[in-house]
Amino acid sequence: MLDGVRILAWGSRQAVRLGATLLERAGAQVTFAQAQPAGGFAYDVIVVSSDVSAASERNAIAELKAAGKHIVCDITATGPQGARAGMRASDAQIQAISGLMDTTGFAHGEPVRIGVPFTEISAALYVCASIAAAVRVKRLHGIAQTIDVTLFGCAASALTTFLPAAFAQRTVGRVGNRHPACAPWNAYRTLDGWILICTSTEEQWRKIKSVAHVPQLEDSRFDTLRARVSNVDELDALIETWTSTLTTDECSHLCEQIGVAAGPIVSVAGLSSEPNFRMRHADAAAQIDACGIEGETYRQMSIFSMARLTDDVSLEPRAGVESSVRSCDAGPLAGIKVVEIGQYTTAPLVGKHLAALGAEVVKIEPPDGEVARAWTPGQAGTSYFFALNNTDKQTLALDLKQQADRAHLRTLLADADVLVENLRPGALAKLGFGREALGEINPRLIYCSISGFGIASAYPARPAFDTVIQAMGGLMDLTRGNGQPVKLGASGADILGGQAALLAILALLADPARQAGTFVEISMQDVAAWCALFASGNPEQEGIAVACIDGHVWLESDERFDVAALAASARRERCGSLSRASAVAALVNAGVSAVPVARVDELIEDGDFLADVLSVARDASGAFWPILKVPYRLSRTPARVRAVPGAPARYAEETSRGSPSRWGMVEAG
């Protein structure tokens, strides 16, 4: 991993502190500095946040970047270029100007600040992943480079659920605890509280209907996913007539039995008594019980775990192909082969970034393709959502219930460096691809399993979606609209879980001489709880969203203005009768920290978004697609996002119908 890498964490942003904590977990030697260290820099990597540094420190940072002797990673709010260059924005202000805040909250309420510093946490994870990639390049090629990561880019990258509507020139609004493309998906009242229920397939919908016994659910208005989304108000009311007859536990257990994701809203303070958290993190739970949640409580748990892939020491690791790859032109991961078996967001996010960094990624899909391909809006039968999450991959359709297709997968894995999947725990093992079997196939493989609750879990049969994990990981408890828990508009648990997996994989790949196979486990609930504990122990500045005639503005408290004073200032400046731009100008003139709350559909006309985040790619037929750049910039070996996959290919022993890749795929006819 990063053993022996010396890192200086020199910056006041939370992303610097969080990143240093994660880098320590990955084996690095980390030194923290509050001020510019005297003397020379005896470090391999220096992590800074120049936008909130003093002028003299910014000069020193510029000199370090120019010298080219260290990997220098700079975390800023908006980057060194563009109209907002140098903006000393807080996490909440970035949530506001990026559109992230406007996606969180209820449809008829105000935008809600995410209750954890989401953009700082996301930046910390991308920082660590990109540092690991840069360390790999330095070890292979002797090249030190600079890395720039922006909070704005991290925020915009999290909008993959909402940007498709903007691409289709539709207005994007808040959906509360719903999903804009799936239904039923919401928080429903029970006899003693609330239950989150999430469905995404027709099979799950049929199962809910079968146990709910509500005749009106058979109405033709709910026959298709599109129809259910269009009639979601009526649908949710009918679902609640069923859930309200059960306790939360009864409803959770029933949903678990039929394979539908569901769970209660857990408070951060209640994490220590939540069965799965307590089982997996007994020490952290005991400390919370004894001392409450403090500033360092989050450090008592890790967001990833690693173990040997197999205990069979007689298995000989195969020779690695990566050692023969000496050109860095194709990216930090040139020569690395990845198999991805995933859907929706989490594992696909990992595969997308590994591909952007130069790896050859093969995505395994069901025979009919991933369900998310058919979501709307999109073009040519493929959703914008799928395109955003699966750039630069080869896609392959396999029916893993068939012996021949499992044999094809086995061949791929024998020549792979990484396998990443987000299936239910044990699903691959049932198909003959458990840890021991994978170790026999490829003793050098990095196998990363991402699941909602982990392999060793109090809920071994419970499926999980992002919203359920947000509820059961404490994120919804900290994020509230008018006092009611509400999920992050973005798929926060999915995204942060994928980022944790990306970090762990890249930390392992940072050692080109690595030989032993490794099993990496990511529990999305672990990651969510880690974030919630950090936020609870390290509270952010408070603020309020204030309505204007064309939207909202975000006002942030400071030593002069508490929340009550902010509200008074907004009334005094008559913000309700002003545009956002005029309101911000009036408030700033009055000494109040204020920024506009952008809508996602407005990003398409935002110069910084167009220049730094949005890009265009082609698919195999030559059609153009809007895609997102990665939010980290490596100066010498940049990550590149270039292509959108077409229909999944088929694996063929006979390749007469096309030109196969090294892994023997030809396009489906």
CA 470, CA 476: separation in Å to the nearest integer? 6
The region of weakest confidence among 99-103, 215-219, 370-374 is 370-374
Measured at the alpha carbon of residue 537, what is the angle toward residues 536 and 541, in degrees to the nearest 5? 70
Contacts of 485 (CB under 8 A, 6+ apart): 187, 194, 265, 471, 476, 477, 479
Contacts of 179 (CB under 8 A, 6+ apart): 161, 185, 198, 200, 467
Task: Place 663 in a pLDDT band, splitting at 50, 70 and 90.
Answer: low
E-strand ranges in 58-193 read 71-76, 146-150, 185-189
How high is the pLDDT of residue 324? 45
Contacts of 225 (CB under 8 A, 6+ apart): 181, 182, 183, 202, 205
pLDDT tens readout for residues 53-108: 999 999 999 999 999 999 999 999 998 777 788 789 999 999 999 999 999 999 99
Say whether pLDDT at 258 is over 80.
yes
How high is the pLDDT of residue 172? 85
6-10 and 45-48 as β-strands: parallel, antiparallel, unpaired?
Answer: parallel
More confident residue, 319 or 193: 193
**Is the peptide bond between 184 and the residue preceding it cis, with omega within 30 degrees of 0?**
yes
Compute the average pLDDT of residues 272-295: 96
Compute the average pLDDT of residues 184-191: 95
Q: Number of helices and strands (H, E) in the chain?
A: 24, 27
Residue with tokens 């008592």: 300
Task: Place 200 in a pLDDT band, splitting at 50, 70 and 90.
Answer: confident
* Residue among 51, 148, 405, 494 flagged as catalytic: 494
How high is the pLDDT of residue 376? 85
Contacts of 407 (CB under 8 A, 6+ apart): none
Contacts of 644 (CB under 8 A, 6+ apart): 382, 387, 390, 391, 617, 618, 619, 625, 627
Helices marked H in 272-371 — which ranges? 275-280, 282-291, 346-356
How high is the pLDDT of residue 659? 43
Is 100 in contact with 118 (CB distance < 8 Å)?
yes
Is 512 in contact with 322 (CB distance < 8 Å)?
yes
CA-wise closest residue to 72 among 635, 641, 609: 635
Contacts of 256 (CB under 8 A, 6+ apart): 262, 459, 461, 462, 463
User: What does the block give as tokens for 192?
Assistant: 């003693």
Please name the amino acid found at residue 155.
A
Is 351 in contact with 340 (CB distance < 8 Å)?
yes
User: What does the block give as tokens for 210?
Assistant: 């079968």
Say whether pLDDT at 452 is over 90.
yes
How high is the pLDDT of residue 36? 74
Is 493 in contact with 473 (CB distance < 8 Å)?
yes
Model-level pTM greater than 0.85?
yes
Percent residues over pLDDT 90 in the chain: 85
How high is the pLDDT of residue 51? 95
Average pLDDT for the chain: 92
Say whether pLDDT at 315 is over 80.
no
How high is the pLDDT of residue 587? 98
pLDDT tens readout for residues 604-645: 999 889 989 999 999 999 999 999 999 999 999 999 999 999
CA-wise closest residue to 268 among 299, 247, 294: 294
Contacts of 510 (CB under 8 A, 6+ apart): 1, 2, 5, 132, 133, 135, 136, 139
Compute the average pLDDT of residues 645-654: 74
Task: Place 40 in a pLDDT band, splitting at 50, 70 and 90.
Answer: low
Say whether pLDDT at 321 is over 80.
no
> Maximum distance among all alpha carbons in the chain?
76
How high is the pLDDT of residue 653? 41
- What is the length of the chain? 669
How high is the pLDDT of residue 319? 55
Three-state SS annotation for 235-285 = HHHHHHHHHCCCCHHHHHHHHHHHCCEEECCCCCHHHHHCHHHHHHCHHHH
Contacts of 331 (CB under 8 A, 6+ apart): 356, 357, 358, 359, 637, 638, 639, 640
pLDDT tens readout for residues 147-160: 999 999 999 999 99
Is 344 in contact with 161 (CB distance < 8 Å)?
no
Percent residues over pLDDT 70 in the chain: 94
619 is an active site residue: no
How high is the pLDDT of residue 38? 66
How high is the pLDDT of residue 668? 40
For the chain, domain boundaries: 6-76+114-157, 543-599
Residue 297 burial (10 A CB sphere; 0-12, 13-18, 19+): buried
How high is the pLDDT of residue 462? 87
Is 505 in contact with 306 (CB distance < 8 Å)?
no
Task: Place 284 in a pLDDT band, splitting at 50, 70 and 90.
Answer: very high
- CB environment 143-168: b (16+ within 10 A), e (fewer): bbbbbbbbbbbbbbbbbbbbbbbbbe
Is 236 in contact with 188 (CB distance < 8 Å)?
yes
E-strand ranges in 394-530 read 394-397, 418-421, 446-451, 480-481, 484-485, 518-523
CA 233, CA 107: separation in Å to the nearest integer? 12
More confident residue, 310 or 234: 234
